[in-house]
Chains A and B, each alone.
Chain A
Amino acid sequence: MGYFQEQGLEVFLDKMKAQGWFKLFTNTQLRCCQPDVAEFYANVSVSEGVLTSTVNRVLIEVDVRTLRVILGIPATGFDLYVREDKSLLGKARLLKLAQRLSQQLGLKNP
């Protein structure tokens, strides 16, 4: 980490810190168990914000608050998941987004 900071990478690292994700995403001790993840997805169901699945015959049941505790991340902030219906974001918001990301403040349409 020290090396990355020396190289002037704080800009992005600071953005991760601001989200409270820094520890989680820089934890090199994390492992991935692919067959179990696949089994999790095969059995998963979501109902009213609760994920339920079984992995190796163990029942897994998590909601936003449980995830927050397990992963050590905040569970507050923007949570509007709009994969399909973009209109939920609103045209005014989309226009602001387009202006900021393209750095063209005179933009009239998103």
Chain B
Amino acid sequence: MQPLHQLIFWFIIKNIIPCAQGHNQADAMDQCLTDLMDRGEPINLSAFMINHIGRIATTPRAPDLGYGFLLTRVFEHFRVELKKKVDAQVIDEIGSSTIMGCGFTLIKAGDRSEDQGVQTPSVPVPCPTPSQPAASTPPSTQQLLQDEITALKGALQEEKELNAKRHANLLALLTALQPKPPAP
């Protein structure tokens, strides 16, 4: 999976069909939702919530109780007197593990504001590889092609760095919104 797919997958398993901690293998359902979201095809979140809550309720070895924030919104709608509300938390663990999980290699650890620019994606961004110049190609053409390759490499590196930055920022945003109620 490409980093963007991995990021969508991460969002899916945290928010759409919340799974137990440690779930890091995309099964057919996860892949399907990741693909639909990537292609902008509608996903019926309400229906998934109902089905998934039903499954959590009937599974003996229940996974994490998901949808904490969304359910609290439902309780408020029904005017339930709530015991203790917790604000969205910025959880520090977005650092290495989540980012590496999305296909990045962390070079230098730091706080969240600093570590945005220091990752290098380990997963190569797909890029058409310039074909090898044929043996009969004149030297000047070869030189031109070499220059082009160097320029492309530079652009690719810039793109990689930008990508790493984007993911780190987005993960920070998503982690802040991630509902995490404990098991009862």
Contact = CB atoms under 8 A, between A and B. Distances in A.
Interface string A39-55: 11110111001110001
A4 B173 contact: yes
Interface residues of A, number: 71
Contacts, number: 226
**Interface secondary structure of B, over-half rule:** helix
B140 interface: no
B144 interface: no
A103 B176 CA distance: 31
Nearest to B89: A32
Given A25-B15, A30-B72, A32-B86, A8 B41 contact: no
21 contacts: A4-B169, A18-B42, A25-B177, A30-B72, A30-B88, A32-B68, A32-B69, A34-B68, A46-B51, A46-B57, A58-B75, A64-B44, A67-B50, A71-B74, A74-B44, A76-B44, A78-B33, A79-B44, A80-B32, A81-B51, A83-B52
Interface of A: 3-4, 7-9, 11-12, 14-15, 18-21, 24-26, 28, 30-42, 44-46, 49-51, 55-56, 58-60, 62-65, 67-68, 70-71, 73-83, 86, 89, 93-94, 97-98, 100-103, 110
Interface of B: 1-2, 4-5, 7-8, 11, 15, 17, 27-29, 31-38, 40-58, 62, 65, 67-75, 77-88, 126, 162, 165-166, 169-170, 173-174, 176-177, 179-184
